[in-house]
């Protein structure tokens, strides 16, 4: 695609017809036309052609033609997002963490892989990939080829083990050129709180308050109440 410019006015070049009117060219003289273009396609071989003619007899027309090829590689814009169903939980709560990868195209993302980092504060219970395989030992989600517009999801079911701010990280790559790497990484913060019945001492060790024994069995308490009620009735009589 040719950007707008004053090529015709300065160089007698009409970019619509592709004709460059050079005019008379003396022996040994050379002229140059430089054209700036913008690549507006992907995954193609662009062939540029040029021919030259004049009204003067040319004894060697074999060098009046030229072509140059430009290879434009495929391109795929991958986007990864983390969207946990809960971001404020307590120790022992279950947290479902869907991780989504989408290929915004325009071409197929070949050999797509995602890496998920789960901190020790979360325990992985199980996982469900909509495509490919996930290895919890390495954190690698092997997706494979991802067509333009295709969207896949890996669901991680976890359990919160320890209080604090838990950060889940994910990234995605492929063998196909990606023009925008800013959306190939994502993080999600999950706040894990203590359970309501837990307290912590000065050393940060959790302590659960215990009920103190009264020393009075329930039967003795009931007998005491009945005795008090009987005395009260006798006084009224």
Residue 210's pLDDT is what? 47
pTM over 0.85: no
H-helix or E-strand containing 233? helix 218-236
pLDDT tens digit string along 162-216? 999 999 999 999 999 998 999 999 999 999 998 876 555 545 555 544 444 455 5
For residue 154, with 0-12 CB atoms within 10 Å meaning exposed, 13-18 middle and 19 or more buried, which class applies? buried
Percent of the chain with pLDDT over 70: 78
Mean pLDDT of 50-77: 92
Q: CA 127, CA 138: separation in Å to the nearest integer?
A: 14
More confident residue, 100 or 207: 100
Q: What is the mean pLDDT of the chain?
A: 85
Please determine, for residue 2, whether its predicted confidence score (pLDDT) is greater than 80. Answer: no
| pLDDT tens, residue by residue, 123-162 | 999 999 999 999 999 999 999 999 999 999 999 999 999 9
> Would you call 222 helix, strand, or coil by DSSP?
helix
């Amino acid at each position: 695609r040719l950007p707008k410019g004053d090529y015709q006015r300065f160089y007698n070049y009409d970019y619509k017809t592709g004709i460059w009117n050079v005019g008379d060219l003396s022996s040994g003289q050379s002229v140059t036309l430089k054209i700036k273009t913008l690549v507006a396609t992907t995954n193609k071989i662009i062939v540029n052609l040029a021919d030259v003619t004049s009204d003067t007899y040319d004894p060697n027309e074999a060098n009046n033609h030229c072509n140059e090829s430009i290879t434009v590689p495929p391109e795929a814009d991958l986007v990864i997002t983390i969207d946990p169903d809960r971001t404020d939980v307590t120790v022992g709560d279950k947290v479902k963490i869907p991780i989504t990868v989408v290929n915004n195209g325009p071409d197929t993302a070949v050999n797509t892989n995602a890496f998920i980092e789960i901190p020790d504060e979360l325990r992985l219970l199980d996982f469900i990939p909509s495509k490919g395989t996930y290895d919890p030992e390495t954190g690698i989600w092997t997706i494979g080829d991802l067509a333009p517009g295709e969207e896949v999801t890996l669901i991680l079911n976890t359990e919160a083990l320890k209080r604090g701010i838990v950060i889940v990280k994910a990234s995605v790559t492929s063998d196909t050129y990606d023009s925008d790497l800013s959306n190939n990484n994502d993080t999600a913060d999950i706040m894990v709180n203590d359970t309501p019945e837990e307290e912590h001492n000065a050393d940060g060790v959790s302590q659960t308050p215990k009920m103190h024994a009264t020393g009075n069995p329930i039967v003795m308490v009931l007998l005491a109440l009945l005795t008090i009620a009987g005395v009260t009735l006798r006084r009224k009589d």
